[in-house]
Structure 1
């Protein structure tokens, strides 16, 4: 069986799309997944499956959430190995391993990013301390003044890179790696 991590976007935010983690865990079990673990309320689920195609799993989860909770949410499914590669490839930590991880985030993209509008994102950070690096299907973020003060938002990357996206802070990514072991 393969270990997967599902990242749900837009649940339990500002009182919208409320799903209790016990109910989300039960949905995954009902969908036939094994060893299901949820982590915090923002929609992180670690589970195992015999299915080898992440896109099939994503479609099943999206359909299951729509049917059971009547919410249309974006779901990104990564294998444990894919998440580990993203974790081990953070260019900010490669440059400075002592960097404050509370200032680091990663935006996961469902598809290969369309870079034709990258210059518009670059323009937003010219006079800012914020930094971003696009690498394959993710965007690494360093927001030294806090993500709440940054113009580098999930919606910005989703719109400008033409890919569904969901963002997690580095502490969450680290915990997902730990829980998936």
Structure 2
């Protein structure tokens, strides 16, 4: 049995993609996952399953689409991978609330970082299927454009560490 988190993109953020966490939990239970729970209202489903990552992702995507009437992008990570993302944070010198792990579908590359535009003090680094960004002055003030994360989802390092701890 493997512990996983499904990180949903654009759920309950800035008035988009309303999904009550009780409903998200019920969807996880309907997939026959065990130890199903949510963490904060931004679309984090924690669970355990005997299935592999692609299978749990497909099950969730289908159930979420049936509920929402549209495809909701999700990024499934194992407990081990979330612990690795938390441990490999290269920006421990910044406030954890200002460091984001942007979860993406494929392994990140240096070329992805080279595509960044309007960099003004932000620092970036590659992680395990994630790109770390230290927003220094705060994400609300950034003009950074990083095409590689446009279709991903982000969590601040505090949330990443808490999710890793809950999955352990």
For these two proteins, the number of residue pairs brought into alignment is 168
Q: Which runs of 4+ in 1 moved over 3 A?
A: 113-118
Rounded to whole Å, the distance in 2 between the matches of 1:139 and 1:104 is 10
**Can you list the C-alpha shifts for 1:39-75, whole angstroms capped at 9, x where unaligned?**
1111011100011x21111111011001122231101
How far did 1:107 drift?
0.4
Q: What is the TM-score of this pair, normalised by structure 1? A: 0.85
- The residue aligned with 1:83 is 82
Long gaps (5+) in structure 2 = none
Long gaps (5+) in structure 1 = none
How do 1:30-179 residues align onto structure 2 when only pairs under 5 Å count?
30-51=30-51, 53-93=52-92, 96=93, 99-113=94-108, 115-116=110-111, 118-121=113-116, 123-125=117-119, 128-152=120-144, 156-159=147-150, 164-179=151-166
- Confirm or deny: 8 A CA contact 1:12 1:18 kept in the other structure: yes
Rounded to whole Å, the distance in 2 between the matches of 1:89 and 1:132 is 13
Higher helix share: 1
RMSD: 1.8
Q: What is the TM-score of this pair, normalised by structure 2? A: 0.91
